[in-house]
Amino acid sequence: MAFQVSPGVNTSEIDLSTVVPAVSTTEGALCGVFKWGPVEERILVDSEDSLVSRFRKPAAAFNQETWLTASSFLAYTNKLYVARVVTSSAYNATSSGTQSGNTLIIKNSDHWEQNGAALTVDANTNFVAKYPGALGNSLKVSVCDHARGFESTAAQNITLLQQGANSMTVAGDVTAGSNSTVTKVQAGDVCRVGNSTTGVQDLTVSAINSTVISFATKFTGTSNVASQAFTRRWGLAGVVDGKAPGTSAYVSDRSGANDQLHIVVTDEDGDITGTPNTVLEVFGGLSRATDAKDESGNSIYFKDVIDNQSAWIWTGVGSAGASLREGAAYVNTAVNMAATGNSAPIYDSLAQGADSAAETSTALADMATGYDLFADASKVDVSMILQGKAVGTSGANYKELANYIVDNITSTRKDCIAFISPDKGDVVNNAGSERADSVTFGDALTASSYSVLDSGYKYMYDKYNDAYVWVPLNGDVAGLCARTDTDRDPWWSPAGYSRGQIKNVVKLAFNPPKADRDVLYQADINPVVTFPGKGTVLFGDKTKLGQPSAFDRINVRRLFIVLEKAIATAAEFALFEFNDEFTRSQFKNLVEPFLREVQGRRGIYDFTVVCDDSNNTGEVIDRNEFVGDIYVKPAKSINFIQLNFVAVRTGVEFSEIVGKF
């Protein structure tokens, strides 16, 4: 208790209820190239649908193997961190292709927020695709910022609109006009033409050539139309409930007017949704006032809303210029923006977006940058690192990437395992040399109990491209470990007929017979085998340790990862306490019940915990250290079965011969 200097009662609480916490062991991690999504950022996906939503579908000859490796893992569990990397060829699409030099890359939200002002964005660029990739070229952004732009009656007259025609001639140059006029017509607008005699029809403008307006469909009226004014309307007026932009309550309360604008994002080419001109996002009733708020106090300033809420675009530098008429703060300022609103909507088609190089051409340095996102255990808790697809031309850097993951991530963190497959060329279309080339590949890897090597590739169906593809098995082997965690515990072996069934297999590139399995297993390569009537099975549970040890088995390595993570987390609460008998006893009372529970769940055969003055000597205490020695006999999985059948004579007693053979 604290010392008191005057009479009184002091109360305090001492918490001795600390327990060893449960730790997660099922999260996987994968790095690769994708068509869309944030770059160099860890994204947790929980299903194949989530993978499609965040990173889009796999693309043939681009990233099928990486993508389907992730999909294979998610077939067994629901926690996978995905990190997208791009090469120097990837760029963000920009509105109207105004970004000169095709050099703009915005990786993710943090990159934009921290460097947005320093990024090279052309002064005329209104909008930028959210992420790098050619998919951004399918985006179109339309803005309507005034009632005149929303709908107006054209001053020109229709000089001729023939029945059954898809174009009309008008008086005057319809491409002329400025922000101060109401007569400008442009592609994307809807023109209401006709009369009570011919019939009224709304026609979407597809192109304008001097005095000729072309439409996407034909005029189906009963006769020709001539000498008549027509009404033009913003082509996306219907998706904002037909309400023209006006004045927000915030600006109205401050004696301002006409600050509102509508912004709509569409899939112009149909590359995103499969249907051209599908509406992706609608942002209605935004404000040009930088300080504008809604009734809940949330910002409705268009830049804030788009940058924080849109899944597809950022606002570019040009958004602050003449094209969108950005306003200043409106507090106590009477401003009427009627004179500065646009007489016609803005239709910005994004262009100049470019994809990264394909996975087989991605440099080792780019992949290493992505995997480095998983290097710090204090920032992200993962248990399985999937190598995925080869990198470099024809997989030239595949083993280098495997060694990078093992040397710099799993062996450094010591709380996760790398799952690796041989190079594709070692087993696919390599009849007769699969075993030897796989062993050669394995011999080039770093020996470590924090890595697992399987025997190859599976042939599986890619429903997104209606094709069959060779995919590495490391996603499946990691998935088996994750599923074992769910069905049993991490210290159970993921191999065998009960827990080792591989999913979504048409055939194996290399289905090793017994003789080859013997050689592979001695080289610490876990065979994946298709047995007639028994399915395709992981038929080994070795780590890539390279020497006889309890840690040359997956279940033992994963057992110790669980024990070390859980007990180390609990031991953190002993930091800055006194190294005395009370603290040491408290530590033992914390650890021993946890180990008894693991023992009861068949994870260990026996254990003992030593934490007393025998290992916490005076010298240890004087160095401000604390030592707890935890001895464990790990449970071992059965890898070899010997069955002895002994024939005996009729008159022999079994008790006389049992134990002699």
- Given a cut of 90, whether residue 50 has pLDDT beyond it is yes
The gap from C-alpha 329 to its chain's centroid, in whole angstroms, comes to 37
Do 519 and 377 lie in one domain? The reply is yes
Q: What pLDDT is stored for residue 659 in this prediction? A: 66
pLDDT one-digit tens code per residue, 204-258: 999 888 788 999 999 998 899 988 888 889 999 999 988 899 899 988 888 888 8
Look at the pTM and tell me if it is higher than 0.75. Answer: yes
CA 247 – CA 193 distance, rounded (Å): 30
Mapping DSSP to helix (H, G, I), strand (E, B) and coil, where does residue 93 land? coil
Whole-number mean pLDDT of the chain?
87
Q: What pLDDT is stored for residue 182 in this prediction? A: 45
Q: How far is CA 653 from CA 604, 650, 657, 660, 661, in A?
A: 38, 8, 7, 13, 15
* Averaged pLDDT, 164-173: 85
Q: What pLDDT is stored for residue 652 in this prediction? A: 82
Q: What pLDDT is stored for residue 211 in this prediction? A: 81
Q: What pLDDT is stored for residue 584 in this prediction? A: 92
Helices 64-74/474-487 angle, 10° precision: 10
Q: Model confidence at 6, in pLDDT bands (50, 70, 90)?
A: low
| Residues 452 and 526 sit within 8 Å (Cβ to Cβ) | yes
Q: Model confidence at 325, in pLDDT bands (50, 70, 90)?
A: very low
Q: Which of 239, 255, 288 is the last residue of a domain?
A: 239
Q: Which of 554, 575, 593 is the last residue of a domain?
A: 554
Q: Which of 211, 239, 267 is the last residue of a domain?
A: 239
Q: What pLDDT is stored for residue 16 in this prediction? A: 54
* Side chain identity at residue 150, one-letter code: F
- Give a yes or no: residue 529 inside a domain: yes
Do 406 and 459 lie in one domain? The reply is yes
- Give a yes or no: residue 244 inside a domain: no
Q: Which is more confident, 25 or 263?
A: 263
Lowest-confidence region among 6-10, 91-95, 213-217, 458-462 = 6-10
CA 220 – CA 166 distance, rounded (Å): 9
Do 466 and 607 lie in one domain? The reply is no
Q: Which of the 8 DSSP states describes residue 407?
A: I
Dihedral in degrees, nearest 10, Cα atoms 74, 78, 81, 87: 30
Do 485 and 539 lie in one domain? The reply is yes
Do 370 and 451 lie in one domain? The reply is yes
Lowest-confidence region among 14-23, 64-73, 627-636, 645-654 = 14-23
pLDDT one-digit tens code per residue, 116-153: 656 766 666 788 999 999 999 999 999 888 888 898 88
| Residues 268 and 349 sit within 8 Å (Cβ to Cβ) | yes
Q: Which domain holds residue 479?
A: 28-86+359-554
- Give a yes or no: residue 633 inside a domain: yes
* Averaged pLDDT, 436-450: 95
Q: Which is more confident, 98 or 41?
A: 41
Q: What pLDDT is stored for residue 341 in this prediction? A: 53
Q: What pLDDT is stored for residue 552 in this prediction? A: 94
- Given a cut of 50, whether residue 330 has pLDDT beyond it is no
Burial class, 49, CB count within 10 angstroms (exposed 0-12 / middle 13-18 / buried 19+): exposed
CA 612 – CA 618 distance, rounded (Å): 11
Do 538 and 617 lie in one domain? The reply is no
Residue 69 φ then ψ, to 5°:
-65, -45
Do 71 and 157 lie in one domain? The reply is no
Do 176 and 59 lie in one domain? The reply is no
Q: Which is more confident, 427 or 22?
A: 427
- Give a yes or no: residue 455 inside a domain: yes
Q: What pLDDT is stored for residue 101 in this prediction? A: 53
- Give a yes or no: residue 197 inside a domain: yes
Q: What pLDDT is stored for residue 323 in this prediction? A: 40
CA 654 – CA 171 distance, rounded (Å): 114
CATH of the domain at 192: 2.40.30
Q: Model confidence at 183, in pLDDT bands (50, 70, 90)?
A: low
Mapping DSSP to helix (H, G, I), strand (E, B) and coil, where does residue 534 land? coil
Total number of domains in the chain = 3
Do 542 and 641 lie in one domain? The reply is no
Do 382 and 233 lie in one domain? The reply is no
pLDDT one-digit tens code per residue, 635-649: 988 888 888 888 888
Name the residue among 158, 452, 129 with its Cα closest to residue 267: 129
Do 466 and 538 lie in one domain? The reply is yes
Lowest-confidence region among 98-107, 324-333, 386-395, 472-481 = 324-333
- Given a cut of 70, whether residue 63 has pLDDT beyond it is yes
CATH of the domain at 424: 3.40.50.11780
Burial annotation 594-613 (CB, 10 A radius, 16+ → b, else e): bbeebbeeebbeebebebee
CA 159 – CA 606 distance, rounded (Å): 97
Q: What pLDDT is stored for residue 654 in this prediction? A: 81
Percent of the chain with pLDDT over 90: 62
- Give a yes or no: residue 304 inside a domain: no
Name the residue among 507, 403, 386 with its Cα closest to residue 454: 386
How many helices (H) does the chain have, and how many strands (E)?
A: 18, 27
Beta bridge partners of 83: 31, 42
Q: Model confidence at 180, in pLDDT bands (50, 70, 90)?
A: very low
Q: Model confidence at 634, in pLDDT bands (50, 70, 90)?
A: very high
- Give a yes or no: residue 590 inside a domain: yes
- Give a yes or no: residue 434 inside a domain: yes
Do 379 and 524 lie in one domain? The reply is yes
